[in-house]
Homo-oligomer: A and B are copies of this chain.
Amino acid sequence: MSKTVTAGVVVIGDEILSGRTRDINIQQIAQFLAPLGISLLECRVVTDQQDAIVEAVRALAARCDYVFTTGGIGPTHDDITADAVAAAFGRSIAVREDARAILEAWYAGSGTEITDARLRMARIPEGAALIDNPVTGAPGFQVENVFVLAGVPKIARGMLEDVAPRLTRGAVTHSLTVRLENAREGDIAEALQSIQDRHEGVSLGSYPWFEDDGEGGFRRGVALVARGTDEAALEQVRGELEGLKTS
C-alpha cells in the first residue's frame, strides 16, 4: 500500500473574507490533487497581512507534505505573499534575473513596458524554484514544500500543470455516492453505523440535502459518500448502501 500524501491550502484572502468573492481555488486544487493520490488535510483563509500569512504557511508546511498558497503575487501594493513566504522560511528576497528574463520575453511579445511595478513580480525568495505561468507570464515559485500560485483561478490552474511532476504521488482515494431520495438521516443512522463498523478502510460520510420542489414545499434526501483506496471494498459498500433504499 503506498503511503498517504497530504496537502494544505492557504488562501490569501481579504477578498474571500469580505464575502465579496466565493473561493473556488480550494475545490480546484482538491480536484487536481485527488487523481495524484494527494488529499487535502487543512485549508486556511487568512488576511492580506504578513504575520497572518507567515503563521499559516509555517503551520501547514510542518503538518502537510505540500502546501499551496493562492493570491497576492501580482504587481500592486497589496501583493505581499512573496515577501511573507520568504519571511516564513527566513530567506532573503530580491529581483531574480531568471524571473526578470521571463517577464521581459513575455512582455516583449505585446510591446508592454516593464514598469517598476511589473518588476515586483520578479522578486523571488532566495533558492526558490520558479513555476511556469502559461496564462500571464509572471511566474509562481516553490520554496521547500510550499508552492506559491496566483489567485486568479485560471492562472492558478495553469500553474498546477507545472507543479504536478514535482509531487510524490500517493494511493488514490476513490469515492462513490449513493443518493437516497426521501430518506432522512435519523432513520438510517444505525444501519449506516453498522456498515461503517464492518469496513474499516472505507470512510462513510452522510450529507442531507433539501431542495425547493417548485410548489412551495421541498424535497429531501441523503447523499451517502464512501471514500477509500480499495476499489473492491468500495463496491461492496455501494451494495450495502443501496440496500438502505428499501429498508
Contacts and interface: CB of A to CB of B under 8 A. Distances in A.
Nearest to A22: B27
Quickly give the copy total for this chain.
2
A117 B189 contact: yes
A185 B44 contact: no
Interface in A161-194: 173, 175, 177, 184-190, 192-193
A175 B225 contact: no
23 contacts: A14-B205, A15-B207, A16-B30, A16-B43, A17-B30, A17-B39, A17-B40, A18-B175, A18-B227, A19-B33, A23-B23, A42-B47, A43-B44, A75-B189, A76-B188, A76-B189, A76-B192, A76-B193, A77-B189, A112-B186, A135-B210, A152-B209, A152-B210
Contacts of A39: 17-18
Interface of A: 14-24, 26-31, 33-34, 39-48, 52, 74-79, 112, 114-118, 120-121, 135-136, 151-152, 154-155, 173, 175, 177, 184-190, 192-193, 196, 203-210, 225, 227
